[in-house]
Amino acid sequence: MDRYRHAYLLAALVLIVPARPFLVERVFGLALLDLMLLVVLIACIVSCARGRWRIATGLVMVAAIQALDWLSSSSEAVWGSQLRNLLAVVFFGYVAAILFRRIFQDTRHVTTDTLAGAISIYLVLGVGWTFAYALLEVSEPGSFVLNGAPLDTVEFDRFIGFSFITLTTLGYGNMVPTTPRADALAVTEAIVGPIYLTVLVARLVALNLTQNLDAEDPP
């Protein structure tokens, strides 16, 4: 498991993004999407697991996210949805920070799992911002409009497409931030995405050059 821990996370993240539009309108589609999101959360724990305290912290946060999700869906409690989204933002930020340190500080050799971890950080950022948008819309309804109309739902599935469109600076323009806070959140994501890719390429090139020099030098 340790050898491919980042690959498991990457597989879970890659599956959930394209699967979303095919699930939300199906019977039990949202329930299946929630299950896939739970798999992503568990894969995050597996990817970051080094030491009991990290595993325990991750499990507690995942359990709290799931409990708050059940509470908000069963009672339609706004505060439950707010706490769930806030905790999800913290969790994915926590995961991204651990993976970033591991890939950019602790890694000395480029492997397939290293590449999987580096790509996973990018996708984790997109998922984390997804919950940040949902949190803002729940807290301040009307922060976003879709095709000029208010959103019919503020769940995870509504914002994941907008998040990755913003992260990649593609910008279709179908969903638009309408408040200064929403605009600042989207602009920040649009800045972070290209900067991360630039730093990633530079780091991987440096590691590759170091590996080649080490291979050429005799022991």
Give average pLDDT by consecutive 10-residue segment, the chain, 219 residues.
78 82 66 83 84 83 87 76 91 92 79 87 94 92 88 76 91 89 95 92 80 59
- E strand or H helix at 122: helix 112-139
Give me the pLDDT at residue 213, please.
60
Do residues 138 and 118 touch, judged by C-beta distance below 8 A? no
- Measured CA to CA in angstroms, residue 114 lies from 24, 27, 64, 100, 118 at distances of 33, 38, 30, 11, 6
Domain residue ranges of the chain, discontinuous segments joined by +: 2-216
Look-up: residue for tokens 């019919």? 152
Q: Please write down the long-range contacts of 60-67, taking CB distance under 8 Å and 24 or more positions apart.
A: 61/87, 61/90, 61/91, 61/94, 62/38, 62/91, 65/41, 65/91, 66/38, 66/41
Look-up: residue for tokens 């020099």? 213
Question: Does the domain made of 2-216 have the CATH classification 1.10.287.70?
Answer: yes
Give me the pLDDT at residue 181, please.
95
Give me the pLDDT at residue 72, please.
77
The answer, as to whether pTM is greater than 0.85, is yes
